[in-house]
Amino acid sequence: MRCSVCGQEAVIRLRHAGLRLCPQHLVARVEKEVEGAIRRFRMFSPETRVLVAVSGGKDSLALWHILAKSGYRADGLFIDLGIEGYSGRSQDVAQAFAEERGLTLHVVSLAEELGATLDELTRIARGKPCSLCGTVKRYLMNRLAWEGGYSALATGHNLDDEAATLLGNVLRWEEDYLSRQYPVLPGEGKLVRKAKPLVFLSEREMAAYCLITGIRYLKEDCPHAQGARSIVLKGILNQLEDRYPATKISFLRQFLRVRDRFRPPEPARLGECQSCGMPTAAEGTCRFCRLKEAVTRHTSRHGTPA
Ligand code: SF4
Ligand SMILES: [Zn+2]
Ligand SMILES: [Zn+2]
């Protein structure tokens, strides 16, 4: 198999892009796609202070690596969710990555911020771990970016993630979520701008990028990922992709095309939480503060978080 660009030995075939690439040209393609997405959607400029949400997985570490290499002012944020076994290993990987490259990584602990780990919160609030995880991560990422004076928050969502989210939203016809599914979301006030520079790059490309550039990442999945709806949706899309290459990329690109002709969504009209002062769509206190109150009530009654 020969590289479509230079004719050297290729290491990956990207059927959806009609390309076979050698290591050098795979790296070049990934970095060019990231830069292209940042410019096309006006995500941020080289002067912007960007906070990258880092999980220890391949996507977020590769994104941080590319931004730093391209001269962006990018620091990292790791949220220790307190998921037994998994969170500790994720943190070790993220910290080793930052130390090796002399990058700044902020680490925040959910147990300290909320009074309970995600495992404990799941028992106290009797909710689905991924739904609670999404709520607390979104809240903490935004608050810490805002408190740290960052003008943009970048996440490592890739093509597979975005296509699965889109499919899930379409199946339930979630109009509100669909209107806000976009590679960049504007910020306003205490709501920090959100950007997804890997939106057009597949999981396979990102894994190959890490392998070639020597990025060590945590390969194991979060224990809560098993049975999560997003994993089922990804499996279905993978089956379709096998049969009909480019299903995912055209699904996402066509959606963005028809979705108000690339006009970014308006900033959400939000009130302020009466307890922490951060933006919220809820009346009175935000969901994070309500969870925190539930944890505090539970702890004062039972002595321990869970
Ligand atoms: S799989 Fe669920 S619980 Fe685990 S990190 Fe992802 S969203 Fe959070
Ligand atoms: Zn090549
Ligand atoms: Zn609040």
Distances from the Cα of 288 to the Cα of 52, 139, 248, angstroms: 21, 7, 33
Report DSSP state, residue 115: S
Domain span at residue 84 reads 23-272
pLDDT tens track for 61-76? 999 999 999 999 999 9
Q: Is residue 191 part of a domain?
A: yes
Q: Is residue 295 part of a domain?
A: no
Protein residue closest via CA to atom 2 of ligand 1: 130
Give me the helices (H) in 214-270, please.
229-243, 247-258
Q: Is residue 1 part of a domain?
A: no
Q: CA–CA separation, 238 vs 233, rounded Å? A: 9
Domain total in the chain: 1
Q: Is residue 299 part of a domain?
A: no
Q: Is residue 282 part of a domain?
A: no
First to last CA, the chain: 55
pLDDT tens track for 135-177? 999 999 999 999 999 999 999 999 999 999 999 999 999 888 8
pLDDT tens track for 42-61? 999 999 999 999 999 999 99
Mutate to test the pocket of ligand 1, among 133, 139, 218 (most ligand atoms within 8 A of CB): 133
Is any atom of ligand 1 closer than 6 Å to the C-beta of 206?
no
Q: How far is C-alpha 32 from the geometric centre of its chain's CA atoms? A: 19
CA 66 / ligand 2 centre spacing (Å): 19
pLDDT tens track for 185-218? 999 999 999 999 999 999 999 999 999 999 999 9
pTM, 2 dp: 0.94
Q: Is residue 109 part of a domain?
A: yes
Report DSSP state, residue 306: -
CATH code of 199's domain:
3.40.50.620
Q: Is residue 157 part of a domain?
A: yes
Q: Is residue 224 part of a domain?
A: yes
